[in-house]
Amino acid sequence: MTPDLLEQGARRVEAHAKKSVEGRTESGGRAAGFSRIATPGEVDVTHGRILYLEDVSVSFDGFKAINKLSLDIAPGELRCIIGPNGAGKTTMMDIITGKTRPDSGTVYFGSTIDLLRHKEAEIAQLGIGRKFQKPTVFEQLTVFENLELALKTNKGVKASMVFRLDSAQSDRLAEILHTIHLVDGVRRLAGNLSHGQKQWLEIGMLLMQDPKLLLLDEPVAGMTDEETARTAELFLSLKGKHSLMVVEHDMSFIRSISEIVTVLCDGSVLAQGTLDEVQSDERVIEVYLGR
Ligand SMILES: Nc1ncnc2c1ncn2[C@@H]1O[C@H](COP(=O)(O)OP(=O)(O)OP(=O)(O)O)[C@@H](O)[C@H]1O
Ligand SMILES: [Mg+2]
């Protein structure tokens, strides 16, 4: 369904290495361009990073919401972000998605795409999908129509009117329905779904656009325990095919999905490691977990 970014990167390295051997010159044919294999429309992850933030800062009325924040994410990784209220987690997502412009710093998608040079809509088209906390599905439409609509966005009115799913898109829609546990609810009005199901539908709508990176802000807030457990399964199934950045306060949920956990505080990284590591860090206990 989705390109495996890790594999994709490895394949490109291999193809390029082969090409540079073939194209060897008398000067030794050193692969001077090895670090840049720019394929339009593709994210270059040959450096092993799909997202890269360095020294990013933003102030609101003199208050530093993000303060020299540096962080990176590997292709296919599921990164969890935790931290106290006001730490800057949502603001960081605003910066990655182009909603907020930082005052300084570097934000790259892969090694070649400078996100600070792109507008919000362009960033979505480049393959960064974002899920806000509140579900924003179209309540008067069915589950199927919502998913179908996700493919039409950014296509213009005329193109949308004649839009028909091709067979690959139909297959993808069927697969996504399965992934988000809504096969039986495909004809139901989105407005009649439970809170958790609406959240899954919205994630499904993002998946229809096949994002390379998904940013999810407090995805299990308000969910039942059962819905939360299913969401954990869902995220684990997406890992590898997509890169995910998940912000949550629910520690048992974080425990069920996490590998590396980054703790944000006062707009920068306070600690990073496994959940056990950060949970036993005195500074983290003081500012967040020990409250
Ligand atoms: N557009 C804005 N204008 C002014 N202040 C802002 C703006 N956006 C964020 N802030 C401030 O920046 C700080 C970081 O907020 P942010 O929403 O990123 O925190 P958070 O880590 O997501 O917190 P929570 O866990 O409560 O969601 C807060 O003090 C917030 O009030
Ligand atoms: Mg927030």
| Non-local CB neighbours of 138 within 8 Å, separated by 6+ positions | 145, 146, 149, 190
Output the CATH code of domain 5-289.
Answer: 3.40.50.300
Q: Is the model's pLDDT at 5 over the cut of 60?
A: no
Task: Please say whether the beta carbons of 37 and 46 come within 8 A.
Answer: yes
* Domains of the chain, residue spans: 5-289
Per-residue pLDDT tens digits for 203-260: 999 999 899 999 999 999 999 999 999 999 999 999 999 999 999 999 999 999 999 9
Rounded mean pLDDT of the chain?
Answer: 86
Per-residue confidence at 135, pLDDT binned at 50, 70, 90? confident
CA distances from residue 198 to 77, 182, 221, 237 in whole angstroms, order as listed: 25, 10, 12, 19
Which ligand sits nearest to residue 87's alpha carbon? 1
Per-residue confidence at 38, pLDDT binned at 50, 70, 90? low
The residue to mutate among 60, 100, 248, having the most atoms of ligand 1 within 8 angstroms of its beta carbon, is: 60
Instruction: Name the CA radius of gyration of the chain, rounded.
Output: 20
Per-residue pLDDT tens digits for 179-189: 999 999 999 99
Per-residue confidence at 41, pLDDT binned at 50, 70, 90? low
Q: What is the position in ligand 1's atom list of the atom closest to the CA of 94?
A: 18
Instruction: List the structure tokens of 128.
Output: 């960064």
Q: Is the model's pLDDT at 168 over the cut of 50?
A: yes
* CB-side neighbour CA atoms (13 Å) of 22: 6
| Phi, psi (rounded to 5 degrees) for 184 | -75, -20
pLDDT on residue 155: 54
86 lines ligand 1 (CB under 6 A): yes
pLDDT on residue 144: 95
- Adjacent-strand bridge partners of 71: 53
Per-residue pLDDT tens digits for 69-104: 999 999 999 999 999 999 999 999 999 999 999 999
For Cα atoms 59, 61, 63, give the angle at the middle one, nearest 5 degrees.
50
**CA dist., res. 250 & res. 235, Å (int):** 15
The number of beta carbons lying within 10 Å of the beta carbon of residue 234 is 19
